[in-house]
């Protein structure tokens, strides 16, 4: 059965690299803690403010 999990992270100027690393750690921990055997897809989408600046990221994984 295919399942989907979504993760989010706020992005701040000059902190993006560390925030993306933290998001990677969060996703990897979820995969390890839930004994995910097969990741079918990973998708990233950015969120923006009213000026068009990127302020966050949404990462979704589909897994079995």
> Quick one: pLDDT at residue 13?
84
Question: To which residue do tokens 């993306």 refer?
Answer: 20
- Residue 52 — left, alpha, or beta (φ > 0 → left; ψ -120 to 50 → alpha)? left
Give the pLDDT confidence score for residue 22 in this predicted structure.
95
pTM: 0.87
What are the angstrom distances between the C-alpha of 15 and each of 7, 37, 55, 57?
A: 18, 32, 11, 13
| pLDDT tens per residue across span 9-58 | 999 888 989 999 999 999 999 999 999 999 999 999 999 999 999 999 99
């Amino acid at each position: 059965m295919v399942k989907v999990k979504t993760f989010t992270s706020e992005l701040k100027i000059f902190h993006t690299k560390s925030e993306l690393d933290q998001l990677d750690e969060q996703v990897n921990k979820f995969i390890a803690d839930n004994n995910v055997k097969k990741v079918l897809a990973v998708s990233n989408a950015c969120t923006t403010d009213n000026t068009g600046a990127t302020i966050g990221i949404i990462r979704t994984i589909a897994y079995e």
